[in-house]
Structure 1
Amino acid sequence: MENPETPQLVSKSEGKVRVLLESVTHLVPGSDRDEKLSFVKNIVCQRHWKRDFDRSQERMYPYGDFFGLKNRNCFFLIDHHGHDHTVQEEEVPVIWYKWTGESLIHMNDTLPLWIQEELKKWPFTWEGRTVHRLPRGPDGNFEPKVQREVIKSKLNLGIPMFARDIEFLREHPEHALWLKARLDRELWAQIEPFCELPEEVK
């Protein structure tokens, strides 16, 4: 007997649907993060609706999208609600794909349990979402411990650094050291030239 809480996997849907695309970070085409995300959104919509992604009909949520790193599993959830913005939460079917780097493969297997549990954390209706914003100081800037987390996140996600990020690294060698201890080597190499670390720790 099927578990009633297990998402219903389908091959296509004329109505509301969740499309889960799974891939590996370096297999997603694009020269930068924006191009990669646009590729994911459009290849799914072209497959099902013969058009590009339409923000009035779909929403996309990336997970594990660390484009700054290679060989990382990544997932993209595209919720298609059409023009019906019902407030009440709904159970909708799920279509699961894998992008191999060359083609989009439809998966007929049951979703792994851990993915089923993650999907429960992402309500289909927008009203069910909670948006978390990073705290800022009275001057409108991030506190140093928050700023270093922002820089770490940008590097992992493949988001370009701003001038204020580089200035922060130069002015706060202690936080640059914190990043050095927590970043992959390939990411640390991108910012090391901007960090003025004491000679004994270089």
Structure 2
Amino acid sequence: METTASNIGGSPEPPVRILVQTLTHLVPGKDSHERTYSMLDRMCQHHWNCDFSVPKFRWASHNCQFAFNNRRCFFLIDYGESQNDDDVPVLSYEWTGEALKPLPQLATDPEIQAKLKEEVPFTWKPSKRERSDVPIPRLVKSRLAYEENLRSSEMDYMREHPEDAQWLKAHVRPRLWRRFVAEMNANRSPDDPVIEE
């Protein structure tokens, strides 16, 4: 169901979905966590004059590769429960870097509708897809793109597998490789060798 803020009036009552499209460089904050929560807080402030909180609200994001400018990314907040996803209104906006601007055509885009329905249903359903384990080097590459901190287990793995570190170096931009090296060296034990750029 497509709905706009103007035909709901005031604070939308649950069930409702809030969908925001923006560009990665317009999202304020210094890292992935801060940027994500700044957008979630803005969305909740816009509608309910409160900060985002779990379990009251549920959230998802897509393509938030903050290490790159001008990437179209999305934030979604779900509020409430419903027996039928088709009955849940979707309020859609664009974040301009300064304000949330209504963007009703976003919710009617067939590609967006399909992605929401298949990958992020309002009513949780067990996944039909088998979960595949992502190889650690690809996971590290993704974390660098999303400006997420590496986990200690991932850093340990990369130290133990220099061939995977070389693969990573060949598959990321030089500034992301430098970030990887800096994070690895900053979190090494005295016994670990220094990683060279």
Q: Shorter-normalised TM-score: what interval?
A: 0.7 to 0.9
Shift of 1:134: 6.1
SS in 2 for 1:31: coil
Which residue number corresponds to residue 107 of structure 1?
103
TM-score, normalised to structure 1's length?
Answer: 0.75
Which residue number corresponds to residue 139 of structure 1?
none
Q: Is the 8 A contact 1:152 1:183 kept in 2?
A: yes
Residues 89-115 of structure 1 deviation map (CA, whole Å, 9 limit, x = unaligned): 432111111111111111133532211
CA-based RMSD: 2.7
Which residue number corresponds to residue 121 of structure 2?
123
Which residue number corresponds to residue 142 of structure 1?
none
Range that drifts further, 106-115 or 150-159: 106-115
Q: Distance in 2 between matches of 1:37 and 1:162?
A: 19
Q: Distance in 1 between matches of 2:130 and 2:3?
A: 30
Amino acid of the structure 2 residue aligned with 1:90: D
Amino acid of the structure 2 residue aligned with 1:20: L
Change (3 A) 1:33 1:146: same
Structure with the higher fraction of residues in helix conformation: 2
Change (3 A) 1:62 1:174: same
Amino acid of the structure 1 residue aligned with 2:76: L
Matched, 1:155 2:152: no
Which residue number corresponds to residue 169 of structure 2?
180
Q: Is the 8 A contact 1:123 1:129 kept in 2?
A: no
Percent identity over paired residues: 35
Amino acid of the structure 2 residue aligned with 1:97: Y
Which residue number corresponds to residue 141 of structure 1?
none
TM-score, normalised to structure 2's length?
Answer: 0.77
Alignment equivalent of 1:90, drawn from 85, 99, 103:
85
Q: Is the 8 A contact 1:21 1:75 kept in 2?
A: yes
Range that drifts further, 178-187 or 98-107: 178-187
Amino acid of the structure 2 residue aligned with 1:169: M
Shift of 1:161: 2.3
SS in 2 for 1:154: helix
Q: Distance in 1 between matches of 2:144 and 2:76?
A: 22
Residues 130-169 of structure 1 deviation map (CA, whole Å, 9 limit, x = unaligned): 397665xxxxxxxxx7221221121121111244434433
Amino acid of the structure 2 residue aligned with 1:181: A
Correspondence list, 1:133-152, <5 A: 135=133, 146-152=135-141
Change (3 A) 1:192 1:38: closer
Aligned residues: 178
Gapped regions of structure 2 (runs ≥ 5): 186-192
SS in 2 for 1:75: strand
Change (3 A) 1:8 1:157: same
